[in-house]
Structure 1
Amino acid sequence: MRPNPRKRTTVGAALLSTAALMALGVQTVPATALPAAPHPSPVRTGGLPADLTPAQRTTLIRSAEARTTDTAESLGLGAQEKLVVKDVVKDNDGTLHTRYERTYAGLPVLGGDLVVHTPPASLAAGTVSTTFNNNRRTVSVRSTTATYGKAAAESKALTAAKALDAQNPAAQSARKVIWAGEGTPKLAWETVVSGLQDDGTPSKLHVVTDAATGAELSRFEGIETGTGNSQYSGTVTIGTTLSGSTYQLNDTTRGTHKTYSLNNGTSGTGTLMTDADDTWGTGSGSNTQTAGVDAHFGAQTTWDFYKNTFGRSGIKNDGVAAYSRVHYSTAYVNAFWDDDCFCMTYGDGTSSTHALTSLDVAGHEMSHGVTSNTANLNYTGESGGLNEATSDIFGTGVEFYANNSSDVGDYLIGEKIDINGDGTPLRYMDEPDKDGGSADSWYSGVGNLDVHYSSGPANHMFYLLSEGSGSKTINGVTYNSPTSDGVAVAGIGRAAALQIWYKALTTYMTSSTNYAGARTAALSAATALYGSSSTQYAGVGNAFAGINVGSHITVPSTGVSVTNPGSQSATVGTAVSLQISASSTNSGSLTYAATGLPAGLSISSSTGLISGTPTTAGSSSTTVTVTDSTGASATASFTWTVSSTGGGSCTATQLLGNAGFESGNTTWTASSGVITNSSSQAARTGSYKAWLDGYGSTHTDTLTQSVTIPSGCTNTTFTFYLHVDSAETSTSTAYDKLTVTAGSTTLATYSNLNKATGYVQKSFSLGSFAGSTVALKFSGVEDSSLQTSFVVDDTAVTTG
């Protein structure tokens, strides 16, 4: 089986970190030359979420529940795997995105979630697709009988909580589960240890223990932290209800949201806040009602933001509100979301006069609930950082949506609550490392940071996507956002950025999504909303490139794109064949033309194939022009060198680009997820490698790169290192195969029979391809069961 790894953290979770861990991330570089803002594509309204009533949503869920057996069968799940519907999102065009959890032999599968995307029958070209968490198609374990006892697992979890300085920890009864969060699925015990974290935040530490060996598999924190006169928003209108002669903080127009005071307690619902004249608070933090006004106003504004921006009715999208609790404990400097009580809770700050109830904080906490009820991003590692960033992103959206003169929209988190005591904000989205702990950009160890610091790259990405890089002043706040590579990035606007991130979260992310997966999810969302040739799609790619995730994307303004084949070489008297690749955003056929071709060569106007036999030695500059049905065109220019008959000298060099895959998913043409830095299969050198197959189900992966071999280089060799890992036990039957080809020539075939520890170097002569361009291709084909992984690293095409 093939997972994407999830890093672990041992730090508790709250609005702010309880440890000052410094991020040793990728150095960011000022991006001084901002490119001209591209013309945005109009939103595809069909890709926006439909505005469903709670009853309509319930009907969709019930319909999906009635088809879970058929759906499981169509996905090729095993006989003991069952699907449990979690949610259904419907787009305006009728596309359904059904989110499922999984069970195995009746046991919950942690990390087994998936989303099935089903287009309506009216979209004839549409096909059903599925987003699997960790790319895990099927789940199975050898036995569901635990050999490591339940009581021992509870004791181990309690020890883990005590090691984190938990106060009054108490282990709840462990439940038996299947752990599929990373690595091979295992039977496990999940124990929840309740108590308090070292800063007084409630704790619900989940510890997952191997039910066979007693090894700790994972741990994560379940508490996500995250007319009246308010302290931060001035005089505002809030929803209240008259009960007898007393007014209550009870907003019946927004799902019956209520605000309670815990009166400095730490448990229970608290006391519903009331007032005699419906004029609440004084605007001073010393007034006990003021914090209630801010929390209540923040909750109603967050409700309105989600409803009016995304059509979402409440945290669960079921029309039912959560509730708020203020005055938690004494001088408690935090705020948090708790799924179990379905509530937000706010402390009063160090001096008990700066409650953590500002607009962006309220939006942040409620957004934890939205994440929990959609992608349910695990609160640890890279997915935990994305969870925190999502709350910062939507909390920022709430602040801008409110358009409140006392708390203007900005890209600063917690600037009003003065946690630091010096007037500085808690986090900076434009340049996260200004807080002294957050990472600006992604690097391989970012998942080891506290989730409030590993959120930095995603916050930075959202700022770049919204506003672009460089210096900018918004609502009186000056920003100067760098990029990891110094390449300037143009923003697409906050409104489009919010729509893309919301759709990515609700329809394409799963519980273990990491930064690379978030880029894929956001690009899928941009495709659905604006099209894959839109400036918004390119904006997503470029914003992620600005934080060191993936490469930059350029969208042709004409609608026509031509892939430049690079410099070419040929020999007089030796036949040449070069296929020009091009595409257009417009429908219809393409027409090809070329100037400067060497004598003896010509291009097919309908296919773009350049062929013939060169007759004259020399160098020429060739330009290919491709025109689509609308008259739009694009060109590609390159040099073509023709040597005299018999060839010439050969300069020793290595011809493959990104030969060790350390630049990520660039240069090579690969199936999704093939080029990866997953720790589940080790690279030979560096962090990245090409991992083909390994799913344990019917699957095909490919990896291709074309290379031009100079005409005189008849001693050219192709080398790579191969590691074969397989769960197959046969010593005679090749069930899963990897075929390596050069053009139409098969160089070698490997299979599960070649499984072994470590990497083995393979070498082949490409001398017969001198003077031509040849496609080198790895094609892995896996049958219906028992995984085989073909892992390739450190490739090279060497002349000399």
Structure 2
Amino acid sequence: MSRTLLASLATLTLVGCGSTSTTVTSSVELDTIEGAGAVAQAQAALKSRQQAGEEFVARGAILDDNGDSHVRFDRRFQGLRVLGGDFVSHQNANGALRELTHAGPESLQGLSVKPSLSAARATQLAERAFVGKRDAGAASAELVVFARGEKPVAAYEVVLEGVKDDGTPSILHVVVDAHTGAVLETADEIETAATTSTGNSLYVGTVSLATNSTSTGYEMRDPSRGKGFYTLNLANGTSGGSVFTSTTSSFGNGTTSNAASAGVDAHYGIQKTYDYFKNVHGRDGIDGAGGTGYNRVHYSSRYNNAFWSDSCFCMTYGDGDGTTFTPLTAIDVAGHEMTHGVTSRTARLVYSGESGGLNEATSDIFGSMVEYYAASASDPGDYLIGEKIYTPSKSGDALRYMANPSQDGKSVNCWSSSVGSLDVHYSSGVANHFFYLLAEGSTGSTTCNGSTLSGIGRSAAEKIWYRALTVYMTSSTKYAGARTATLNAAKDLFGSGSTQYNAVAAAWSAVSVN
């Protein structure tokens, strides 16, 4: 997953395209007949645009019910990966290139990729950006093309592993200019749910779990969804762990005195998140090919956070310190974490700057939608993130407040040119606010331009955001690009000039993205 930044989404209209009425999309594997056909069609359409030294590598395809196809490509130049060179090629049913959604410059001709610095020197410079305890020897440096800035340059992507001061694992990607040694961007591969942050469950009561029968009882392993998944008990360690088991068909007792109770919440959360993406968006698993990842519960000791890692393709949950947080396994947190996996397999929004804010907001949006989908009487749907994981003394608190993001004292409701300099959990406020206004209207919220809005409902809003993410956004999409992406998605789903299309435009204006 690329971890670098810049350039707003740009859409080049190559062939005139009116509004469509696309209502069904499906991800296809590249090695299937349909996937290979879509890729071949896209490559043929792109042949005239491919320049000397360039290679376009397909990594995902989506087919619409009207025959249109959308193929994601990564780009290589003179054998090097191009960070910020990813794009989506949109073809009509007849194979004609309709649009090209890209990040960064179209042409890299004339760029010298010969470095002035050695990989060892670049690693030394990158290490200065690491905050925490580094794992000795756990570093790599790859020569790449960095195409997210104003001008493409040769650079090293240095990957450093270690642990942050708060105990969170860190896999830090640092991009270093291969000529000047300047740090061009940093982004962490570990994506957290918070900034400081059945069976018989802790948060959703007694629920039904899909488990696996064994010779000695049952294990917390679901073989029925996609390629299957399981939930591990790390028992306050940071690696290893074992699958939760029970000699009976019951897990947990609804309190923290039984370690399986938190496991129930995590297991239920992954089930409902899988079901949500499958039944609402037609997505088979988190990776689009049946893969759903797995859970790791009871990570470390008194750990106040939860995180997604691409490396293990898994969710990890701490137990909280008991003062501010209880175990961080609430269903909206589960939906949040697994959505990071969806993003990593689609747009790959870099976890930094405005793109990082959109990455976090995407997880908050679908985490909230998963909570609504689960429809638990013990934890009904709302636009608060993580409100169930606070201790009774902190009742009423939440990690994020989508109707009014600034309620947490750090997030922002409205876009400004300084948004990209904020922590990604705070810059996410702009998109969270947009989504609330789009779905629910301005009742219960306020707009940045004083307008009064009527919502289009969660069903339409979530489908627009999902299509924007999976079809139009790229790794470098910023807020201006997100506006373009969601307008394109609304046009595809409901038509240009439709109530939904106009509502998208109005909601972005209401958060100062014009």
TM-score by length of 1: 0.60
CA distance in 1, matches of 2:5, 2:123: 28
What is the Cα deviation at residue 322 of structure 1? 0.6
Aligned with 1:416: secondary structure?
helix
Listed as ranges, the matches of 1:102-141 within 5 Å are 102-121=75-94, 128-134=98-104, 136-140=105-109
Match of 2:149? 182
CA contact under 8 A between 1:170 and 1:195: conserved in structure 2?
Answer: no
CA distance in 1, matches of 2:176, 2:488: 35
Match of 1:62? 36
CA contact under 8 A between 1:411 and 1:428: conserved in structure 2?
Answer: yes
Q: 1:543 to 1:420 in 2, by over 3 A?
A: farther
2:169 to 202, 207, 219: 202
Match of 2:55? 82
Listed as ranges, the matches of 1:362-377 within 5 Å are 362-377=334-349
Aligned with 1:172: secondary structure?
strand
Listed as ranges, the matches of 1:510-529 within 5 Å are 510-529=474-493
Query: Could you tell me which amino acid in structure 2 is paired with residue 515 of structure 1?
Result: Y
Match of 2:440? 467
CA contact under 8 A between 1:46 and 1:91: conserved in structure 2?
Answer: no
CA distance in 1, matches of 2:76, 2:204: 46
CA contact under 8 A between 2:134 and 2:163: conserved in structure 1?
Answer: yes
What is the Cα deviation at residue 139 of structure 1? 2.3
What is the Cα deviation at residue 183 of structure 1? 1.7
Listed as ranges, the matches of 1:483-502 within 5 Å are 483-502=447-466
1:425 is the counterpart of 2:392: no
Query: Could you tell me which amino acid in structure 1 is paired with residue 299 of structure 2?
Result: Y
Match of 1:101? 74
Query: Could you tell me which amino acid in structure 1 is paired with residue 117 of structure 2?
Result: Y
Listed as ranges, the matches of 1:225-304 within 5 Å are 225-226=192-193, 228-255=199-226, 256-268=228-240, 270-304=241-275
What is the Cα deviation at residue 55 of structure 1? 5.9
1:546 is the counterpart of 2:499: no
2:276 to 292, 300, 305: 305
What is the Cα deviation at residue 320 of structure 1? 2.0
Aligned with 1:160: secondary structure?
coil
CA distance in 2, matches of 1:341, 1:172: 18
In the alignment, structure 2 segments of 5+ residues that lack a partner are 9-18
1:348 to 319, 322, 341: 319
Q: 1:47 to 1:396 in 2, by over 3 A?
A: same
Match of 2:16? none
Match of 1:73? 47
Match of 2:160? 193
Say which structure is richer in strand: 1
- Identity, % of aligned positions: 49
CA contact under 8 A between 1:228 and 1:281: conserved in structure 2?
Answer: yes
CA distance in 1, matches of 2:186, 2:461: 32
Aligned with 2:86: secondary structure?
strand
Aligned with 1:363: secondary structure?
helix
CA contact under 8 A between 1:77 and 1:137: conserved in structure 2?
Answer: no
Q: 1:178 to 1:548 in 2, by over 3 A?
A: same
Query: Could you tell me which amino acid in structure 2 is paired with residue 502 of structure 1?
Result: Y
Aligned residue pairs, count: 494
Query: Could you tell me which amino acid in structure 1 is paired with residue 101 of structure 2?
Result: T
Match of 2:407? 434
The answer to which of 493-502 and 207-216 deviates more is: 207-216
Aligned with 2:162: secondary structure?
strand
CA contact under 8 A between 2:42 and 2:97: conserved in structure 1?
Answer: no
Query: Could you tell me which amino acid in structure 1 is paired with residue 99 of structure 2?
Result: S
CA contact under 8 A between 1:348 and 1:354: conserved in structure 2?
Answer: yes
Query: Could you tell me which amino acid in structure 2 is paired with residue 394 of structure 1?
Result: F
Aligned with 2:81: secondary structure?
strand
What is the Cα deviation at residue 421 of structure 1? 5.0
CA distance in 2, matches of 1:275, 1:167: 38
Query: Could you tell me which amino acid in structure 2 is paired with residue 49 of structure 1?
Result: V
What is the Cα deviation at residue 178 of structure 1? 0.7
Aligned with 1:259: secondary structure?
strand
Deviations 1:195-232 (A, max 9, x none): 11121111011001111121111111111112500101
CA distance in 2, matches of 1:91, 1:238: 33
1:212 to 157, 166, 179: 179
Match of 2:469? 505
Query: Could you tell me which amino acid in structure 1 is paired with residue 305 of structure 2?
Result: N
CA RMSD of aligned residues (A): 2.2
CA distance in 2, matches of 1:498, 1:202: 31
1:413 is the counterpart of 2:385: yes
Listed as ranges, the matches of 1:616-655 within 5 Å are none
Match of 1:626? none
CA distance in 1, matches of 2:151, 2:393: 47
Match of 1:380? 352
CA distance in 2, matches of 1:299, 1:237: 13
1:149 is the counterpart of 2:118: yes
CA contact under 8 A between 2:30 and 2:61: conserved in structure 1?
Answer: no
Deviations 1:405-438 (A, max 9, x none): 0000000000000179512111100000000000
CA distance in 2, matches of 1:190, 1:141: 21
Say which structure is richer in helix: 2
Query: Could you tell me which amino acid in structure 2 is paired with residue 144 of structure 1?
Result: V
Computing the radius of gyration from Cα coordinates, the structure with the larger value is 1
Aligned with 2:452: secondary structure?
coil
Match of 1:609? none
Match of 1:445? 418
CA contact under 8 A between 1:68 and 1:83: conserved in structure 2?
Answer: no
